[in-house]
Structures are given as structure tokens and as C-alpha cells.
Structure 1
Amino acid sequence: MIEARGLYSYYGKSPVLQNLTFDLNKGELLSVLGRNGVGKTTLMRSFMGLTDRLEGSLSFGGEEIAALRTADRAKLGIGYIPQGREIIPRFTVRENIVMGTWARRDGRRDMPDFVFELFPILKDFLDRRGGDLSGGQQQQLAIARALAMDPQMLILDEPTEGIQPNIVSQIHDVIVRLNREFGLTIVLVEQNVPFARRVSDRFIVMDKGRIVISGTGADLTDELAEKHLTF
């Protein structure tokens, strides 16, 4: 589903990502790990065309997307939940979710019922402003908004950062369901190594804008984590 070949991504004249090459098959879950500041978020933003410039090849579903606008990538079926969630605080929960439907390829604008099965609290808060929700509820709303676009692939950048533990568990369970039950291809930036080991089909570890190691979930040993992920 995703194929990167010799990918460089720039802010200004500086390449933050350098010569990245990897594949992700349809239906797989890829965890992206690494210390702070090594380029994980830049990679997520590069998928969506949110850096200043890309060099190399980046394809999605066999279509080259490196030159496409962000909106066009979304319409191909790439859903993105960034760090900080970026919900619209003055919009209601309902309005935030409906906003996600504008990237749907079939033109439908109705809220999918299954998002309320995944996040029942949102159904109770449909007319509440997004800015009045807790951090964990806002993260659930951000995921629901992305799901409303009927994505083929979901990108989540540290979806449980700064969230209360009981909601962390709920979000982890939803990520697993979306991948295993709904068949969504998922790219996940995650600091929880045991969770990444358990759910990942594949992982990559980044350092200084490069991939320094990759493998299957079973290859993500404590020794590897100690070497590449601790400060």
C-alpha cells in the first residue's frame, strides 16, 4: 500500500528525512519508533504532503503521491491523526466528525455509526464543543473524524501521549480492532514498546532522519529497545 524509495523530506533547505526506503502492505500495522526529535513526526507529515519538499518516490496503492496536495492525498484514503489532535475547539463534536466526511470519495456526509460503537462517549457529547472535552476525549474525537472519511490507511502520531491511563487502554484496543477486524492499514508512532511488539506486523526505528533498524513485531526485543530507544 505504501512504498517509499530514497525518500528525502525537507523543511526549508534542510533534509530532515534522509534516504528512507521501506514498504507497507495492505492490512498491515507498522510501528515507527525512536527517540524524540529523530524525524518520526516528519515522516508522518511527509505522507500527507505537509513538509516543504519531498525528493525520491512515495507511492500509495500504486499511485505516486509525492507531488500531490494534502487534500488530494486525503481523498485517496489516507487518514491522519497528528500530534496534538488538532480538533476544531469551537466546533461541536458533531461538526468535527462531519468535517472528516468531506474527504470521502463517495460524497456521503453522514456520520458512520461504528464510530459511536468504538467511542460511545462521543454520542453523548454530540452537541458539546470539542474544546470542552478532556484530552482523551479529544483524541477519540480526532480518530472518529479521521474514520468518518472512510480511509484505507490511518496514520496516528503518538495517539496516547499525555492521556489518562484508562483512555490509553481504550485507544490501544480501538487501534487493534481497526487493524484486525476492519482491515485498516495503520502507521503508528508509538513509545510503548510492549504494545508495539504485540500488535505490529512490522516496525522501523529511526535516528537522525534515517531508518537504523527494521523487522517484524517479534524482532522488537527488550535489548533492541534498550539500545535504540532509551536516553
Structure 2
Amino acid sequence: MLEARDLYSFYGKSPVLQGVNFKAGKGELFSILGRNGVGKTTLLKSIMGLTDGIKGTLRLKEESIGDLPTPERARRRIGYIPQGRAIIPRFTVKENILMGAFGREDGRREMPEGVLELFPILKEFMNRRGGDLSGGQQQQLAIARALALGPEVLLLDEPTEGIQPNIVQQIEEVIVHLNKKMGITILLVEQNIPFARRVSDKFIVLDKGRVAVAGSAEDLTDDVAHEFLAF
């Protein structure tokens, strides 16, 4: 579904990612792990075309997308939920969700099917401004907005960071539902190692912009966590 080969990504002339390789198959949940500042967010931004440039190969369903502008990548049904959520505070919940639909290639501008069943609180707050929601509610809104695109691939950057504990479990359950029930390929940046072990099909650990470890969930051992993920 999504593959990088010898990927370098730059801010200015400085490479943040250096020779990254990975392959996320259709319908897989692929976790991207590592300490702060090792390039996890940069990898997601590189997939969306939000860094200053890349070298190497980036392919979606066998199509090279490395030279495509960000809107064209969205039209190929890559949804992105950035760290910090990027909710438009003056827009209502409904307006924020429908913003996600503007990336659709088919032109449909409508509420994504089933999203209000996933997040009932959003139905209650449909006409409330996004900036008036709690952090956990904004994260639910950000996921709903991404689903309005009708994504085949969904990039999530630390979706449970700074979220109240009673919402964290709900968001984790939604991520599993989107992947296992709806078949969306998910690339997940996450610090919660037990959660990553439970739900991942594959993972990579980044260290200083390079892939330090790669494997399936059973390879995410305590030794790996201690060496590359402990703070």
C-alpha cells in the first residue's frame, strides 16, 4: 500500500530522515516509534509532502507520489491527523468535519458514514465551535474530519498525547475499529508501547533519523523498548 525506499527528508538543506525504508501493506496497522526528536513526525509530514523536500522513493499502491503536491496526495485518499490536531477554532464541529471532505476526488461534501456512531459527543456538539471543545473532544473531531476524506491510508501523530484518560481508551478502540473493521491502513506514531504491541502488525523504531529496529509486534521486546524508547 505505502512504501519508502532510501528516503531522505529535508528542512532547508539539513536531512532529518536518512535512508529510511519501510513497507506498510494494505489493511495493516504500522507503528512508528522512537524517542522525541528522532524524526517520527517528519516521516508523516514527508508522506504528506509537508517538508522542504525529499530524496529517494515514496510509493502509494505502486504509484510514485514523492513529487506530488500535498492536495494531490490527499486526493489519493491519504488522511492526516497531525500532532496538536489543527482544529479550526472558529469553525463549528460540523464545519470542521466537512473541511476534510474538500480533499475528496469525487467531490462529495458530506458527513462521513458512521462517524457520529463512533463519536456520539460530536453529534451533541455539532453546532459548537471547535475551539470550545476539550482536548479529547478535539482529537475525536480531528479523526472525524480525516474520515470525511474517505481515506484508504490514515496517518495519526500521537493521537492520545495530552488526552484525559477516560478518552484515551475510546480513541484507542476507534483506531482498532478503523483498522480491523473498516480495513483502513494506519500509520501510527505512538509513545504507548503496550498499545503498539497489542494492535500493530509491523513497526519501525527511528533513532537519529534512521531505522534502528523493524519487525512485527512480537519483535517489539522489552529490550528494544529499553534501548530505544525509554526516557
**TM-score (norm. length: structure 1):** 0.99
- 1:108-162: CA deviation from partner (whole Å, max 9, x where unpaired): 1110231101101000101000000000000000000000110000000000000
Shift of 1:221: 1.2
Tell me the amino acid that sits aligned with residue 144 of structure 1.
A
| Residue matched to 2:218 | 218
The whole-number CA distance in structure 2 between the counterparts of 1:99 and 1:209 is: 32
| Residue matched to 2:101 | 101
| Residue matched to 2:183 | 183
Give the SS at the match of 1:131: helix
> Which stretches of structure 1, 4 residues or longer, exceed 3 Å deviation after superposition?
none
Shift of 1:211: 0.3
The whole-number CA distance in structure 1 between the counterparts of 2:20 and 2:220 is: 20
Shift of 1:62: 1.0
- Structure 2 unmatched runs, 5+: none
| Residue matched to 1:162 | 162
Give 1:119-138 correspondences, 5 Å limit. Answer: 119-138=119-138
| Residue matched to 2:192 | 192
Supply the RMSD in Å over aligned alpha carbons. 0.6
The whole-number CA distance in structure 2 between the counterparts of 1:174 and 1:204 is: 22
| Residue matched to 2:70 | 70
Report the count of equivalent residues: 231
Tell me the amino acid that sits aligned with residue 25 of structure 1.
G
The whole-number CA distance in structure 2 between the counterparts of 1:113 and 1:8 is: 37
The whole-number CA distance in structure 2 between the counterparts of 1:159 and 1:152 is: 18
| Residue matched to 1:174 | 174
- 1:188-208: CA deviation from partner (whole Å, max 9, x where unpaired): 001011100010000000000
The whole-number CA distance in structure 1 between the counterparts of 2:212 and 2:221 is: 15
- Structure 1 unmatched runs, 5+: none
- 1:191-231: CA deviation from partner (whole Å, max 9, x where unpaired): 01110001000000000000000110111111210111113
Give the SS at the match of 2:178: helix
Shift of 1:50: 0.2
Shift of 1:103: 1.1
**TM-score (norm. length: structure 2):** 0.99
Bigger mean CA deviation after superposition, 106-115 or 23-32: 106-115
What is the identity percentage for the equivalent residue pairs of Structure 1 and Structure 2?
A: 68
| Residue matched to 2:141 | 141
